Amino acid sequence: MILETLPVGPLQVNCYILGCEQTRRAAVIDPGEDGSHIVQTLQGLGLEAELIINTHGHFDHIGANRYLVETTGAQLVIHRDDVALLSSAAEHAAMFGLSAVTSPEPSRIVTGGEDLSVGDLTLQVIHTPGHSPGGICLLADGVLFSGDALFAGSIGRTDLPGGDQDQLVRGICEKLMSLPGQTKVYPGHGPATSIAREKAGNPFLRFPAE
């Protein structure tokens, strides 16, 4: 597995390039901005983008969708419940005094539970709504890309339209905290962490007393 992290855009979204060493096919996860830099990085790694995956539809995670689709021809993937956010990115960005490039329509819709193939790699789609209705995480061989659901020591904000803190916490506890403790977590912003570390010390997560 080839893994490269690129913080992009004014909100420093973690864009991840996940590549298959054997086939040199790759997934680009959350290309928030800086499309030309992402493409240059793919070329430098000798990878060809097969999938562009949005963990959710907020403007800061989708800003380079159009550039990458038009430049690489890769399929654009997003959860069914966040498709509408793609067309409202400019309005959402304006709330933060920023601008956003309109995303093209997705070429593939997921609902949770699917497997996405990238070369010889498999990404399991886990639906974790609460930050947005269609938020997803992606699990691949001991590595979890958690989008804006789970952060190191925190969780995603739930005060934006479609947010629901109880739903987010419940999904994290039920679907993510049951993963092996050594699972490495790569979030949409900030440093990487692990399931064990978040289960032991994340103040936003509630567990029944043992």
Domains for the chain: give ranges and CATH numbers: 2-201 (3.60.15.10)
What sign has the CA pseudo-torsion 141, 142, 144, 145?
Answer: negative
Dig out the tokens for 128 from the structure.
């974790």
β-strand partners of 187: 147
Q: What is the pTM of this model?
A: 0.94
Main-chain dihedrals φ then ψ at residue 111, nearest 5 degrees: -125, -5
Based on its alpha-carbon atoms, the radius of gyration of the chain, rounded to whole angstroms, reads 16
What pLDDT, in 10s, does the model give residues 36-64?
A: 999 999 999 999 999 999 999 999 999 99
One-letter amino acid of 62? I
In 3D space, the residue among 116, 101, 96, 130 whose CA is nearest the CA of residue 53 turns out to be 116
Q: What tens digit of pLDDT does each residue of 70-107 get?
A: 999 999 999 999 999 998 877 777 778 887 888 999 99
